[in-house]
């Protein structure tokens, strides 16, 4: 069980932004922190937003709140990296992987078309696997998956075990993908960054794991993507609660270190 009280620490930064959430999205971030580490957590999020290649923010919000619910422990997805020679091939491969995860071709194509319609998304779009319709009603805000983290010591052991770099962007994305795919209403996720200097993305699902693709767009492109393919007929309110509010630690059991063992 978790002994200590944890706090959810969140950041959102925008250009020409306001409290209402308009403007160009620059950066967002999520951490879970003990009280003693809040200053460090806030600084990490501040740094992330102040040095972002999408530009300098003129609006930023950093907030923390105590977590009162029990924190769920979830294992990281398995991970595999595909090297492709072009963004076009990367996109093709992402569609093949989504099809393998059980998404119909016509639904995949429809979802790709939403990217042109919603080009300044902050959170995820949720697309129904049956109809291909976007089923969240959040506009460009999308659904923001929140309240999740992976303790550094455990992440570093995991990364060393698999010979992977200690890479904060991959860590953040894998935390989110592992949390999202653990809920049965999620069938698969497609994601690449809106950072013009970062072109790696992934397709994830509980069965397939986290399938990284080294090129899913061209350098300089600020169009990001985060789509959850969902079975919208299932427990909708509980699903949204899980994504936005259920606190989760990712924990790798390869080498036990005392955290989350019974959690
Ligand atoms: C993001 O930065 O918003 C998403 C990054 C996705 C890919 C991360 C990786 O595995 O390298
Ligand atoms: Mg981003």
HEC per residue, 187-236? EEEEEECCCCCCCCEEEEECCCEEEEECCCCCCCCCCCEEEEEECCCCCH
pLDDT of residue 232: 81
Cα–Cα–Cα angle for 186, 231, 251, rounded to 5 degrees = 15
pLDDT category at 26 given cuts 50, 70, 90 is very high
Under the banding of pLDDT at 50, 70 and 90, the label for residue 261 is low
Q: Which residue's CA is minimally distant from atom 5 of ligand 1?
A: 193
In the predicted structure, residue 234 carries a pLDDT above the cut 80:
no
**Which residues fall within 8 angstroms of residue 160, CB to CB, at 6 or more apart?**
none
* Three-class SS state of 240: helix
Pocket residue to mutate for ligand 1, from 29, 83, 150, 200, most atoms within 8 A of Cβ: 200
Residue 259: what pLDDT? 60
Quickly state the pLDDT bin for 3 (edges 50, 70, 90).
low
Residues 135-160, mean pLDDT to the nearest whole number: 95
Return the ligand 1 atom nearest residue 201 CA: 7
Coil, strand or helix at 112:
helix
pLDDT above 90: residue 118: no
Q: How far is the CA of 258 from the centre of ligand 2 (A)?
A: 32
Average predicted confidence (pLDDT) for the chain: 94
Pocket test for ligand 1, best of 201, 214, 221 (most atoms within 8 A of CB): 201
Q: Which residue's CA is the nearest one to ligand 1's atom 7?
A: 201
Q: What residues line ligand 1, using a CB cutoff of 6 Å?
A: 169-170, 173, 191-193, 195, 198, 200-202, 212
Strand order in the sheet with 186-192: 79-82, 209-213, 201-205, 186-192, 225-230, 125-128
Give the pLDDT of residue 1.
47
What pLDDT, on the 0 to 100 scale, is given for residue 263?
Answer: 44
pTM over 0.85: yes
**Which ligand is located closest to the Cα atom of residue 159?**
1
The helix (H) or strand (E) run that includes residue 41 is helix 38-50
Q: Which ligand is nearest to the CA of 80?
A: 1
**Ligand 1 atom with minimal separation from the 191 CA:** 6
Per-residue pLDDT band for 255 (boundaries 50, 70, 90) equals low
């Amino acid at each position: 069980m978790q002994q200590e009280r944890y706090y959810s620490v969140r950041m959102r930064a925008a250009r020409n932004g306001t409290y209402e959430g308009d403007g160009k999205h620059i950066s967002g971030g999520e951490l879970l922190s003990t009280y003693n580490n809040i200053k460090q957590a806030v600084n990490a999020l501040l740094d992330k937003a102040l040095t972002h290649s999408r530009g300098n923010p003129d609006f930023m919000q950093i907030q923390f709140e105590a977590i009162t619910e029990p924190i769920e422990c979830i294992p990281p997805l398995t991970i595999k990296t595909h090297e492709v020679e072009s963004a076009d091939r990367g996109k093709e491969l992402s569609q093949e992987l989504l099809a393998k995860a059980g998404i119909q071709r016509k639904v995949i194509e429809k979802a790709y078309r939403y990217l042109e319609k919603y080009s300044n998304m902050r959170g995820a779009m949720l697309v129904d696997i049956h109809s291909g319709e976007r089923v969240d009603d959040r506009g460009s805000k999308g659904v923001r998956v929140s309240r999740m983290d992976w303790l550094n010591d455990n992440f570093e052991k995991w990364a060393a075990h698999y010979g992977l770099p200690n890479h904060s962007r991959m860590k953040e994305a894998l935390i989110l993908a592992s949390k999202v795919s653990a809920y049965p209403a999620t069938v698969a996720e497609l994601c690449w960054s809106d950072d013009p200097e970062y072109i790696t993305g992934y397709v994830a699902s509980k069965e397939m794991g986290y399938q990284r693709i080294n090129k899913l767009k061209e350098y300089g492109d600020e169009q990001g993507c985060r789509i959850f393919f969902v079975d919208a007929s299932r427990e909708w309110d509980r699903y949204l609660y899980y994504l936005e509010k259920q606190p989760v630690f990712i924990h790798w059991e390869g080498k036990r270190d005392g955290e989350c063992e019974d959690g």
